[in-house]
Amino acid sequence: MSKYYVNKFLYTVDRDPELLKRYTEDPRNLVATWEQSLGPKLLNNEVEASSVHAFTAEEREALINHDYVALFEMGAHFFLNLTLFIGMYDEPYLLKSGPLSFQREFAAKLQHWRGKDYPTVET
Amino acid sequence: MAQLVATLASTHHPFYLKATTMPPEQQLPEAPEWKRKVEAYRETLERTKPDILVMIGSDHFHQIFLDNCPQFLIGKAERYDATFYNEEREFGIPKYVLEGDEDMSRFMHQALMNQNFDFAFSNELKIDHSIICPIITVRPDADLPVVPIYTNIFAPPLHTPRRFYDLGRAIRKAIDDYPSDKRVAAIGTGHLSLELGGPRQFMETGPDPEFDRQAIEWLRTGNIEAILENVTHESMAASGNATHGFLNFILMLGVAGPEGADYVDNLDLFHTMEAYFTWYPKEQAA
């Protein structure tokens, strides 16, 4: 398991409009591209590679499926997990069901965690 | 020596600008009251005529990430760009360029090191909404130089509440010792109870209204003993997964000193309690 790598994915996609668009429209391909050529780069360095991290099969599937519930349960950082999916779903939900409807659905899908200790986001 | 003229501590709500500038027929019912309260809070800074703003906030994984994550960081640059693409996208916050004050940053950095705070520093810091939100609310002309300080309230392990308070005291000492005739205001933002990306997000109130009421009372009375007795990482997590932003309020109470606030206001919004505090140094209030 690599919470760090999942967070690195969420972080790098959220901050780049082109990657966000590709992740919205074709997540399977974007995840594959990311694993092949973006994830293995040291951050803020176009030259240096980093061989430390890789996704587990569960992490890869959760990212491909836009499965923010699974990502929460794996301990992905709550802020990254929220802000990236808001970036993709806030507007379509707003047009269909009104303000904050995506955020409320997100919360509703996590209700089984109410009153429990959440999975730690420590990496 | 420099003079601390005010200490301001508030929540930072990234939707304030959007919520109060969209066409009135689309605004939240609370928007006009929110605007009035923010403008009244702004006046508590305006009347002190500051020359420099020491700004305390926390990067939200914009420039700082888990590959290299400092607990405390100070900006040392002649200016600072602000607002990242994903903040424009999500919150509608515009780009800014803020002037820095390298001389004061340098002094502050050394003074904090001398007081055993091992600060990271950045000569190319792009600041995020934790510092731009209070610029928008209390200094919208963005016309004063800033000394930005970031704390880690986000990526565990975090420092203790006591350490945040002590850092506030150390920042206060550094301001008091700064050899300058400038008037300095310290402005920090954080959160009361808050949930993001969890089951209690975006409810009708914040996730723990009882904590919010208690926290406002502690800050109003400057009761650092009660805060340090009652607030732990576990208690904050129980009040909402992003409640650790309260650590910055504890820091600001350290800047002000353990004294009652001179100005306190709050507003119950749809998913958070907003709160606004100003302390004036007692020797000036007299």
- Confidence class for position B283, pLDDT limits 50, 70, 90: low
List, for residues B115-167, the tens digit of each pLDDT value.
999 999 999 999 999 999 999 999 999 999 999 999 999 999 999 999 999 99
Would the CB atoms of A17 and B89 count as touching at under 8 Å?
yes
Domain harbouring B93, CATH code: 3.40.830.10
Cis peptide before B157 (omega within 30 of 0): yes
Are B7 and B186 contacting, i.e. CB atoms less than 8 angstroms apart? yes
pLDDT, tens digit, 9 for 90 and up, residues A60-113: 999 999 999 999 999 999 999 999 999 999 999 999 999 899 999 999 999 999
Predicted local distance difference test score (pLDDT) of residue B270: 78
Residue A78 lies in a domain: yes
Q: Judge whether A14 lies within some domain.
A: yes
Domain-embedded: residue A120:
no
Q: Is B83 left (phi over 0), alpha (psi -120 to 50) or beta?
A: left
- Our count of domains for chain B comes to 1
Question: Does the residue A119 lie in any domain?
Answer: no
Q: What is d(CA B140, CA B142) in angstroms, rounded to the nearest whole number? A: 5
Residue B168: which pLDDT band, with cuts at 50, 70 and 90?
very high
Which of A61-65, A115-119, B126-130, B266-270 has the weakest average pLDDT?
B266-270
* In a domain? residue A118: no
**Is A16 part of any domain?**
yes
How far is A105 from chain B, CA to nearest CA, in Å? 9
Question: What value does the mean pLDDT of chain A take?
Answer: 96
Please state, in angstroms and rounded to a whole number, the distance separating the CA atoms of residues B76 and B108: 10
Residue B264 has pLDDT above 60, yes or no: yes
Q: Tell me which chain B residue has its CA closest to the CA of residue A7.
A: B66
CA torsion sign for B132, A24, A101, B32 is positive
Considering its fold, how many domains does chain A have in total? 1
Each residue of B46-86: pLDDT tens digit? 999 999 999 999 999 999 999 999 999 999 999 999 999 99
Closest CB from A11, A100, A120 relative to B202 = A100
Tell me if chain B has a CB within 8 Å of the CB of A11: yes
Give the domain extent around A16: 3-113
Q: What is the pLDDT of residues B134-145, one digit of tens each?
A: 999 999 999 999
Q: Does a structural domain hold residue A121? A: no
Q: Say if A13 falls within a structural domain.
A: yes
Q: Give the range of the structural domain holding residue B127, as residue numbers without chain letter.
A: 3-285
